Amino acid sequence: MNSRIVYIGIDDTDILGGPGTGRVAKGLAQSLIKLGLVTSLGVSRHQLLVDDKIRYTSHNSSKGLALKTDRSVAELRQPCIDYMRSCFQPGSDPGLCICPESQINEEILRFGKLASTKILTKADALDLAAKYHIFLVELGGSGEGIIGALASVGLRAGGNDGRLVDLRGIKEIKGEISVGEIIDRTDIIRVQDENGIQLNGNELIDSMDWIRPSLVGGQPVLRVKPGVAQTGKPIWVPSEQKHKKGKGEHINE
């Protein structure tokens, strides 16, 4: 069987003070890699609507995985379920969605965008998944995580939303580094300023020990803006800055 892209979305796997959904998503990707089932194209964070009528833990973000695989969705289901159940935290409401690229359509993309601006229901998610025979399952609690799980599949497949929180090489980038080195050492394909202008390989970036590329056209792109180094010299800095954790928030992104 030829390799293809499969998207996995997960949400609501967490509780306050415990490991966040980001950690579960990264662990799920690594588990599937160790089983020899996939190659990971990165884990992305997607911001959903923040509203008092929606139950969420701290920021209401879901996670999307893009995987390259020659396995069928049926072969991926149980390993994903087993891993997520091993991470279950009482009080959480996890949901899991698995969808091959071939089944992505405008309604699924629209659902992802709507979840960023509108309150959606479990029935909305279940009806859409059933309509297109997409694997969507509740894995504990109220199961409301299926909403964000399906939404993150749509947003990740859309390719222009969210930031990558797990991608080859990004965790090893520290201090000042050239654009060329970033491209060589990670799966980031380019570095650009906030106007979309691509930087040349000799430009220097202060990584601030935390770089998280954005999804642009389905590709990992590091967005930067003008900054000032400790020495006072002009330098580029990442547009995405590390969130300072508040009391009771997750121990990871």
Mean pLDDT lowest for which of 15-19, 93-97, 249-253?
A: 249-253
Cβ atoms within 10 Å, residue 174? 11
Q: Which of 141, 138, 156, 130 is nearest to 40 (CA)?
A: 156
Name the class of domain 4-163.
alpha beta
CATH 3.30.70.2200 occupies which residues in the chain?
Answer: 4-163
Q: What is the pTM of this model?
A: 0.90
pLDDT given for residue 231 in this prediction: 80
Residue type, 138: E
| pLDDT higher than 90, residue 182 | yes
- 5-25 pLDDT, tens digit per residue, is 999 999 986 665 566 788 999
Q: Output the average pLDDT for the chain.
A: 90
- 101-159 pLDDT, tens digit per residue, is 999 999 999 999 999 889 899 999 999 999 999 999 999 988 899 999 999 999 999 99
**Which residues are 180's β-sheet partners?**
none
- 23-59 pLDDT, tens digit per residue, is 999 999 999 999 999 999 999 999 987 655 555 444 5
